[in-house]
Each structure stands twice: as C-alpha cells, then as structure tokens.
Structure 1
Amino acid sequence: MGAWAQQQVEVEGYFLQDSAKLGERVGYVLKAKYGKGQNIVFPDSTFDFSPFVLLEKKTFISASSEGNTLDSAIYYISNFSLEPVVDFSIPVFEVFKYDSLKYKPLESSLALKLTIEEIPDELIFKDNNVYQAIDTSFNYPLMIGLILALILIGSILFFFFGKQISKRWDIWMEKRKYKRFVQKWKKAEASFTSEPSMEHADELLGLWKTYMEHLKSRPFREWTTMEIADFLENKEIIKDLREIEMIIYAGKSGKDLPQACQNLWSICSQSYQQKITTTDERQ
C-alpha cells in the first residue's frame, strides 16, 4: 500500500486488496491532506485510468483539524491488464487562478489473480452410443474462388469510389460522435444549472474541452483560458469560461451561468458544422 508523500500537499493512495481477477471490481482509496486556503481537486471520469476502467467514484465529507483538511474518495475500477503485477496511482490537483500543480502518491501494486480449475487425477469419459453424423467434405476450391472474386470486386469499387466512400464514412462517424456529445452535454448542463457545484462545473467544463480537442485536434484540456481564447480568436469566451471556473477554483457562483453554457455550446456546434463541411468538401 502507498504511504504519505513528502510534499506540500500530502497524498496517499492504495488498493483495498492485494490481488484481483481480470475485470474484477477493485477499490482504490485516494486521500489528500492540505492546509487552509488551498484548492484541491480530485480526478473525475475524464481522467485516464489506464490500464484500469473507472466504474464508480465515491466521495466523503471533508474532515478538518488544526488548520488542515483531509479529503478522501474511493475509486472502484476494473483491471484489464494481463501483466502479473500492475503499479498504479491517481494524482490530485491543486488549482490556482491560471495554473495547477499535480501531487501524485506512491504507486500501489495490484497482482493479477489467475484461476484454473483443478484437473482430476483420472480422466472420466462419458459413454455415448448415439450416432454422430459426419460432415461431408467442404468445397474449398469454390470457397477460395468466391473470396478472390469478392476481393477483386471490392478492389475495383474502392479504386473508383474509395475517396467518396471514405469521406461519407468520416462524416457519418462524426455525426454519431456529435449526437453522443449532445446527449452528454444536455444532461451535464441541466445538472450544472440546477445545482452549480464544483463537481458539476468540472464535469461540464471537462466535457466541453474534451470534445473541442476532438474537433480541433488541439490540447484544450492542457491550455489556459487565455490560450484557448487566442486559438479560437474569441476574447468573449474568457468571460464564459471564468463564469464556470469561479465555481471550480473559488466556490463562487457566476452571474450568468445559463448564458455562459449557451455560448460554449454554440462554439462546439459551429466547430462541428465547420468540420463536417470541410470533410464534405475534401477532394
């Protein structure tokens, strides 16, 4: 199990068990101890938990003592790595006005538990006197001929229509991703506007930045608000982002959250339309 890291913010992370089967639900405890005035954020579903898959996050009420605060959470994850032992840790983030620091605990190990049924000393064969039909020989030359014919036809179609098919496929996939984003955004926006908490604000902003990264192929999640505004050539977005960031970083609710959400949504929608239009016009 992990131990307290010797840092300004003390973090500890460890598994609730030493080993697990492939895909088994495992609990990982993450704790952070910090001083007054420090803004500590725990990772959410947008964090990359590889090689694990996040199933559920459970948080607990903060505990304060002698000017220090202790936050804790349990991440329920599944292991899909075939490595005999996986070393793993989850960081916490200290958020400032325009930047953040990452504090990472010592790695905790989880062993892969392999289960193989015991083989009996003597094999027992089951008697079966029922007639078993034997398949007739398969016509392999015919099968090979059909496969070659299909490959030839497919090659001819791809030669003449490959670019158009590829373009239509890209647009179709982009529309599917946009539809999924719309569903997630409406749900996150409704939760955020009805209860503008730090968790809902972080979820909404992370969803927006992740989708904009996909549309623009730029590291929106790593950029500051000023860098995002400069790239989009849109100074008005600074106000919209800070309306939401005030809740995350300062715990204060903005003045016009619905309008800020609508403005961010409009930027995603316009960027999506621009991407599929560019794809459709591609030669």
Structure 2
Amino acid sequence: MGQEREVEVEGYFQQDSAMIGERVAYILKARYGEGHNIVFPDSTFDFSPFVLLEKKTFMSSTTEGITLDSAIYYVSNFSLEPISFFSIPVFEVFKYDSLIHQPLEASLALKLIIDTIPDELSFRDNNVYQPIDTEFNFPLLIGLLLSLIFIGIGISFFFGKSIRRRWEIWMEKRKYRLFALRWKKAEEEFAAKPDMDHADELLGLWKTYMEHLKDKPFREWTTIEISDFLENKEIIKDFREIEMIIYAGKSGKNIPKACQNLWNICSDTYQQKITATDDRK
C-alpha cells in the first residue's frame, strides 16, 4: 500500500467542451518516487467513448527523487451525450504482476452548433397553388414499345441468320474448350494409373463428345460400327489398345499414340462442324 500512495496520477482535458469529432487534448501526468516502473497506455488501449488520434510523449524529469512522466492524448468524441467522462490509467509493472493507478474522471461537454430557434416561425408569403400534371403519357409509351418491336423485327429479318450462326459457333467453341480440358485431365490420370476405371472414363468422354458432334449414338455403337461410320479402320486398333485394360486387364503398348489418334479425330470433326456452320446460308 505504501508504494501505491507514492504514485500520483492526474488527467484532464485542455478545454471544457468540444464539438462532435473535434480534436481534443487530454493531459496525463504521473509523479512517483524511486523504484517504480510506470507505463502509459499505447494505441492498443480502449479509449471509448473517445477515439485516439495521436499520442505525444515527453522525456521524464526527476527533481529531488520525484520523477514526472507526462503525455498528451489527442482524442475525438463521437458520443451524443451532453457530458462525457474520461479517464486514462497508468500501469505500475512488477515482476509477476501489475497495478493500475486511475486518475479522477475528466468531463467534456458536448458543444452543439445550432442557431437559436425563434419563438414564432416566419414563412414566406407564397401560397399560390401550382397545378401538377399527374396523367401518364400512354401514347408516348405505346410509341416507344412499337418502335422497339419494329426495330427487333428488322434486326431479326436482316441479321437473324448471321446472329444465329455466330451464336452456334460461339457455343460450339465453348463446348470444345471444355472437352479439351476434360480430355487432357482424363488422359493424364489414365497415363498415371492405367486401370479399368480410367480407361472406361476416357473412352466414354470420347464417345459422348463425338455423339454431340455427329448427332449419332456413338455410346451405343460397337467399335466396328463406329469404324464403319467414320470410314476409319485404324480406329479399331486405337480402341483395342485401351479396351485391353478394360476386358483383359492388360496395358497396351501404344496407348499414348492411341489417345493422340482419338483426340485428332475429335479435333478434325470439330473443325468440320465449325466450317459447315460458318458456311451455312
């Protein structure tokens, strides 16, 4: 208790009142004798209801064994209370503990800048009724709608086929990019782990995309039927390289080449469809 009495803390504002948000200086001083380790709060301290703007510290001064520490805290008040009370403590730090020294609360009155309201209100003498047209302009609305309809019909008549072709080509390119990404991923997974599941996924992806390009039931056809339709006998070898894993559990010798051949067929078929769509009248 003796050490606690030896620490004197004082805190006060430099002004009595302030407007909302105004920068105000709060002075904090601590006087103490030898053997005290005094710490002032920093920016991590909770200054509510005030907001800390800046802290300015000063060098300690010691006279006849009494040390004076001081700091200025510049704060702003955003409270609508007529009077706000504020107090910042200082901390005395020991080896395993600390002690709080709290100064008396300082008050700050809220300054409101409002013109004095007169007892009687004076109004400008202008009470002439001004008529306002409240009718909706339906003829204008109908004219705008008809104009939009005729413009739409004209665009569809002159540019409808071209716009439709461009849309179909854009959609086809988008599907091709998506297929390319999925094919690359499936091929990499199949190369890393050539088992029945990855082989089936790769062939299923190829048949699904070719079914979209040719509008034929590739997923229902046998390898021979696909070969006959495409007029490509070499595709039988490519399918068998991959199907050996599915039906025989054996890995083919030319799987990378087979995958590349299947990819080339999809790519060539896609290019043919894009060209046919672009040339269509």
Is the aligned partner of 1:178 residue 2:176?
yes
Q: Which runs of 5+ in 2 are unaligned?
A: 1-133
Equivalent residue pairs, number = 148
Aligned twin of 1:268: 266
Q: Deviations over 1:33-92 (max 9, x none)?
A: xxxxxxxxxxxxxxxxxxxxxxxxxxxxxxxxxxxxxxxxxxxxxxxxxxxxxxxxxxxx
Opposite residue 216 of structure 1, the aligned amino acid is K
Opposite residue 212 of structure 2, the aligned amino acid is H
Opposite residue 280 of structure 2, the aligned amino acid is R
Structure 2 CA distance for aligned equivalents of residues 246 and 212 of structure 1 = 22
Percent identical pairs in the alignment equals 73
Aligned twin of 1:210: 208
Q: How does 1:1-283 map to 2 (within 5 A)?
A: 142-283=140-281
Helix, strand or coil at the partner of 2:216:
coil
Helix, strand or coil at the partner of 2:252:
coil
What's the RMSD between the two structures over aligned residues?
1.6
Structure 2 CA distance for aligned equivalents of residues 192 and 238 of structure 1 = 19
Structure 2 CA distance for aligned equivalents of residues 215 and 204 of structure 1 = 17
Structure 2 CA distance for aligned equivalents of residues 177 and 247 of structure 1 = 29
| Residues 218 and 145 (structure 1), Cα distance of their counterparts in 2 relative to 1, 3 Å cut | same
Max Rg structure: 2
Opposite residue 181 of structure 1, the aligned amino acid is F
Aligned twin of 1:16: none
Q: Deviations over 1:176-228 (max 9, x none)?
A: 11011001100001101111111111111000000000000100000000000
Opposite residue 186 of structure 1, the aligned amino acid is K
| Residues 190 and 140 (structure 1), Cα distance of their counterparts in 2 relative to 1, 3 Å cut | farther
Opposite residue 273 of structure 1, the aligned amino acid is Q
The alpha-carbon deviation at position 149 of structure 1 amounts to: 1.7
Helix, strand or coil at the partner of 1:222:
coil
Structure 2 CA distance for aligned equivalents of residues 164 and 195 of structure 1 = 46
Structure 1 CA distance for aligned equivalents of residues 144 and 167 of structure 2 = 26
Structure 2 CA distance for aligned equivalents of residues 139 and 203 of structure 1 = 63
Opposite residue 145 of structure 1, the aligned amino acid is G
| Residues 254 and 152 (structure 1), Cα distance of their counterparts in 2 relative to 1, 3 Å cut | same
Helix, strand or coil at the partner of 1:219:
coil
| Residues 151 and 270 (structure 1), Cα distance of their counterparts in 2 relative to 1, 3 Å cut | same
Aligned twin of 1:5: none
Aligned twin of 2:91: none
Structure 2 CA distance for aligned equivalents of residues 180 and 140 of structure 1 = 49
Q: TM-score, normalised by structure 1?
A: 0.50
| Residues 137 and 202 (structure 1), Cα distance of their counterparts in 2 relative to 1, 3 Å cut | farther
Helix, strand or coil at the partner of 1:166:
helix
| Residues 143 and 195 (structure 1), Cα distance of their counterparts in 2 relative to 1, 3 Å cut | farther
Structure 2 CA distance for aligned equivalents of residues 217 and 148 of structure 1 = 41
The alpha-carbon deviation at position 245 of structure 1 amounts to: 1.0
Structure 2 CA distance for aligned equivalents of residues 160 and 144 of structure 1 = 24
Opposite residue 273 of structure 2, the aligned amino acid is K
The alpha-carbon deviation at position 145 of structure 1 amounts to: 3.4
The alpha-carbon deviation at position 163 of structure 1 amounts to: 1.1
Aligned twin of 1:96: none
Name which structure has the greater RCO, CA cutoff 8 Å, separation 6+. 1
Structure 2 CA distance for aligned equivalents of residues 210 and 143 of structure 1 = 50
The alpha-carbon deviation at position 146 of structure 1 amounts to: 2.7
| Residues 276 and 145 (structure 1), Cα distance of their counterparts in 2 relative to 1, 3 Å cut | same
The alpha-carbon deviation at position 148 of structure 1 amounts to: 2.5
The alpha-carbon deviation at position 144 of structure 1 amounts to: 4.1
Aligned twin of 1:106: none
